Chain A
Amino acid sequence: GDQVEQSPSALSLHEGTSSALRCNFTTTTRSVQWFRQNSRGSLINLFYLASGTKENGRLKSAFDSKELYSTLHIRDAQLEDSGTYFCAAEGSSGNKLIFGIGTLLSVKP
């Protein structure tokens, strides 16, 4: 079935550094959504992409539907970026999202 593979499962960054998270898809998907889950458990929408790239402040996401992957770049990481990041792909059947198991990001001083 449809699967979304996220990497890394955990990441530790120092403030001011940059890194990237990745999602690989096992089947073709037409769109991807990225979320951050904060310490209270709320899921915050970061990006929705049907193609190409989007940027919002220090975050930038790209989606390559042909190569079946998406990335989320975090530039100049800040303490408030800490949380669990999820990507979700549009399912091949039915009106649903298929979630990865998340990347736990810790930003340290």
Chain B
Amino acid sequence: EAGVAQSPRYKIIEKRQSVAFWCNPISGHATLYWYQQILGQGPKLLIQFQNNGVVDDSQLPKDRFSAERLKGVDSTLKIQPAKLEDSAVYLCASSGGLETQYFGPGTRLLVL
């Protein structure tokens, strides 16, 4: 079974630029999550989708972050404009329901 795929793996941008991350969950998984993990901390949930609907986006900085999952499969997370403090690893995870979450390898973002 293929795991959660994410791209790109690494991204370096300057502050105030825009960036987008892509996630392809495990086939058949209805729930998709985006996490932000700052160095030395545990992952923090940014947004959770159930199919193509948002279940929880209470910790998403909506003034600069946006995410979509239009067809209930792939998802993109966008930051516009980026700030220095957005430097982190962005993890995507999926689950088949209220059970184990499977994480992708993450995208490491560095904002200069």
A in complex with B: no
Interface residues of B (CB under 8 A from A): none
Interface residues of A (CB under 8 A from B): none
